[in-house]
Amino acid sequence: MENKAHPEKELEKLDDLTSETTEAKSNEPTADQPIDPIKKIQDELAEAKDKYVRLYAEFDNYRRRSAKEKLEMIQSANEQLLTALLPVLDDFERGEKTFKDKNDKEAEGFFLIQNKFRKTLEQYDVKVMETVQGKDFNPDFHEAITQVPAPSEKLKGKIMDVVEKGYLLNDKVIRFAKVVVGS
């Protein structure tokens, strides 16, 4: 037996739907009803204010973002130059080891240039990374170039020797410290 709906119920549902749409349309002005000009202007003003506030906020976000990107670009340009100068600093340190007497007249010019170079790097916030033997190996700051057998259990996973110093620029690693790790 087929389940058929009663035609009266179908008509009631149709009447309900039509009355709901009529009520919704009665809130909107029609050609028959007069449009309130003040209400219309207020709605347009509110819409214009909303667009203005959104546009202003979007522009302010753009301005901040572009200033931040510009600053990052300048810092990254400095980073490349400063990273390229780090081997020169390494050479100064190797040269310093060749002088037996630091008060020697011949070494005076060398040390003046070395100190001036270090101060220049410090002005641009380049700092030597503190890497000490016996400290824990941290892959965020250190690059393990080799592993050697640790003389004791305490030194496993610790830095045994520093081959090349690491450097930070604005607390960001620009060169990892090259270390030997105990295993």
Q: Is the separation of the CB atoms in 173 and 131 below 8 Å?
A: no
- Output the pLDDT for position 79: 86
Cβ burial, residue 24 (10 Å; 0-12/13-18/19+)? exposed
CB pairs under 8 A, 24+ apart, for 90-95? 90/164, 90/165, 92/117
Kindly indicate the confidence band of residue 153, based on its pLDDT and cuts at 50, 70 and 90.
confident
Residue 177 has pLDDT above 90, yes or no: yes
26-53 pLDDT, tens per residue?
A: 455 555 566 788 999 999 999 999 999 9
What is residue 136's DSSP assignment?
Answer: B
Question: In this structure, what token pair is assigned to residue 45?
Answer: 């003003």
By the 8 A CB rule, do 177 and 162 touch?
A: yes
Please report, for the chain, the start and end positions of each structural domain, with discontinuous segments joined by +.
127-183
**What top-level class would CATH report for the domain 127-183?**
mainly beta
The β-bridge relationship of strands 126-128 and 167-169 is antiparallel
Stronger pLDDT, 35 or 61, i.e. the higher one: 61
Q: Which pLDDT value is given to residue 33? A: 62
* Per-residue model confidence (pLDDT) at position 166: 93
Starting at the edge strand that comes first in sequence, how are the strands of the sheet with 159-164 ordered? 142-148, 177-182, 159-164
Q: Residue 114: is its pLDDT beyond 50?
A: yes
- pTM, 2 dp: 0.59
